[in-house]
Structure 1
Amino acid sequence: MSAIDDLPPLRDVLAAHELNAKKALGQNFLLDLNLTQKIARNAGSLEGAHVIEVGPGPGGLTRAILSLGAARLTVIERDERCLPALREIGERYPGRLEIIEGDALKVDFATLAGDAPVKIIANLPYNVGTQLLVNWLLPGSWPPYWQSLTLMFQKEVAQRIVAGPGDGHYGRLGVLAGWRTEARIAFDVPPQAFTPPPKVTSSVVHLTPREAPLAVAAEALERVTQAAFGQRRKMLRQSVKSLGGEALLERAGIDPTRRAETLSVAEFCALANAIG
């Protein structure tokens, strides 16, 4: 019996189903159920909530979410080897767990969420985590269909998400996350917490949507940040030359000799709005 429910310890689950983490799927399994509960608690109260989890693997975080009272949990798993272990969890929590086999990058999360806001909680596979975050940050309408995001990334990626101007980690992710959300690093997770241990430390990031982010077209903001940070060592008049160069910067009221890492989110929005 485990520390949080009457299901077997996760090491026994891995052995029973002959599960080994696949590098090609970006898998690193978390086996400490106290740690998975700590991750889930950072999403706030889950009592009665609808939660979506991506990449549950053998179900460590899944069990934590359900043990904390989520009324409904939808998990998306592309590795069919993990499905039997997840079904066993579903039998322990009848009517509360929905399992979707498939690629999370191809899932329509807004449709999955339905009418009520959801909380997304995930130990994201390393190879798709950043793209999933960008997709969640850039839905067409705002506020979004999600109430919060509680996600685990490599620490370096987490630092990029929460970074602001002047920070060496500041870049496209920091601008997009800072534009539409309040983001913070909740805590770090050492490599030895995983099976197999990755080569890097991981971090849990919690994001909540801003009610009224600055008005700007997401596509234009992406174009500006991609150009500006694509040549971050150069002055803006050179890095955004393909978008209008000095004329664009003049319309936005920004000194052309500045560099991308010095611009605030508001200034990036002004630059995006100045694109013809």
Structure 2
Amino acid sequence: MSRIDTLPPLRQVIASHQLSARKSLGQNFLLDLNLTAKIARQAGDLSACDVLEIGPGPGGLTRGLLAEGARRVLAVEKDARCIAALQEIAAAYPGRLEVIEGDALQIDPLAHLTPPVRIAANLPYNIGTELLVRWLTPPDWPPFWQSLTLMFQREVADRIVAQPGSKAYGRLAILAQWRSDARIAMSLPPDAFTPPPKVSSAVVHLTALPRPRFEADAATLSRVVAAAFNQRRKMLRAALKGLAPDIEDRLHSAGLKPTDRAERVPLEGFCALARALDA
């Protein structure tokens, strides 16, 4: 029997610490420890890794990560009400859980982590996409993390793995797939959470590539993709005309049709255009 079984059920933890979920913090608690263990397993073998968890809440996934053998977990939690509950978990796993109270958007966790590092989190809905973009766009690549195992609203998960030609395909798909292998690992219905959100959720697993999939300058690629998808209904020659006076020539040199629209252009095409613009 694992040590996790000696800790109180999460419903009891929530009741004893008065941890009602707050919409302002994007909180939806996952209380089924079988599910949290399953999510933890999606992150792979954690026995030789530090794991960064954002928004642990009452600690359901935290317990799953530790029970599944994570070498060490760093949990960053903004809600002061949850700290005491997380410290109870830390006491049950001596030396393996560090809890930092604060805003994940403001804290640099690197000083508290020893490589190799993986990130696993049921991200608060209101900051999930922003955190993902930050992790995918560091100044240097490869990043400090080996993999990301993250819970999102299903709509966001679909955008991360979307392929050209689909309505979900856009900037998030380009950012994720340029530098990582991304897949949806599992889906969860609203009633898996307390309180149930209005939408379904999904866990996305992203594995960092040692180098970007296609050559391109990150800043140039970002500008191209932003301009293209900000006016995704327009043809490329119109949407991108602000990037270069000879944009049609640049599109041709990248093997793209000026009359195409952004949602039809594959990742390789955007990278080719970024190289053409830099040339």
TM-score bin (small chain): over 0.9
Alignment match, 1:186? 185
Q: Secondary structure at the match of 1:275?
A: helix
Distance 1:154 1:58 in 2: 20
* One-letter amino acid of the counterpart of residue 27, structure 1: Q
Q: Secondary structure at the match of 1:186?
A: strand
State the shift of 1:247 in Å.
Answer: 4.1
Q: Secondary structure at the match of 1:203?
A: strand
Deviations 1:102-142 (A, max 9, x none): 1111222444434x121100000001000100111111222
Structure 1 stretches of at least 4 aligned residues deviating more than 6 Å after TM superposition? none
* One-letter amino acid of the counterpart of residue 62, structure 2: T
Corresponding residue to 2:263 among 257, 261, 264: 261
Deviations 1:177-199 (A, max 9, x none): 11001000011101001010000
Distance 1:187 1:146 in 2: 21
Alignment match, 2:34? 34
Q: Is it true that 1:9 corresponds to 2:9 in the alignment?
A: yes
Corresponding residue to 2:251 among 249, 266, 276: 249
State the shift of 1:252 in Å.
Answer: 2.7
Distance 1:205 1:3 in 2: 27
* 210-219 or 18-27, larger mean C-alpha shift: 210-219
Deviations 1:15-45 (A, max 9, x none): 0001111101100000000000000000111
* One-letter amino acid of the counterpart of residue 264, structure 1: P
* One-letter amino acid of the counterpart of residue 164, structure 1: Q
* One-letter amino acid of the counterpart of residue 78, structure 2: R
TM (norm. structure 2) is 0.94
Q: Is it true that 1:49 corresponds to 2:44 in the alignment?
A: no
- Asked whether the 8 Å contact 2:159–2:172 carries over to 1, the reply is yes
Q: Superposed, which structure 2 residues align to 1:81-230 within 5 Å?
A: 81-114=81-114, 116-213=115-212, 214-230=214-230
Deviations 1:132-184 (A, max 9, x none): 00111111222211111000000000000001111221000001111001000
User: Relative to structure 1, is the Cα distance of residues 269 and 246 closer, same or farther in structure 2, using a 3 angstrom cutoff?
Assistant: same
Q: Superposed, which structure 2 residues align to 1:58-77 within 5 Å?
A: 58-77=58-77
- Asked whether the 8 Å contact 2:74–2:113 carries over to 1, the reply is no
Identity %: 61
- Asked whether the 8 Å contact 1:50–1:119 carries over to 2, the reply is yes
User: Relative to structure 1, is the Cα distance of residues 219 and 112 closer, same or farther in structure 2, using a 3 angstrom cutoff?
Assistant: farther
Distance 2:106 2:98 in 1: 17
Aligned length: 275
- How large is the Cα RMSD of the aligned pairs? 1.7
State the shift of 1:3 in Å.
Answer: 9.7
* 3-12 or 182-191, larger mean C-alpha shift: 3-12
Distance 2:30 2:197 in 1: 11
Q: Secondary structure at the match of 1:241?
A: coil
Distance 1:249 1:110 in 2: 40
Deviations 1:211-247 (A, max 9, x none): 2212322222221111101111110001111112324
Distance 1:113 1:266 in 2: 34
* 98-107 or 21-30, larger mean C-alpha shift: 98-107
* One-letter amino acid of the counterpart of residue 203, structure 1: A
TM (norm. structure 1) is 0.95
Distance 1:215 1:185 in 2: 25
Unaligned runs of at least 5 residues, structure 1 = none
* One-letter amino acid of the counterpart of residue 100, structure 2: I
Distance 1:159 1:238 in 2: 27
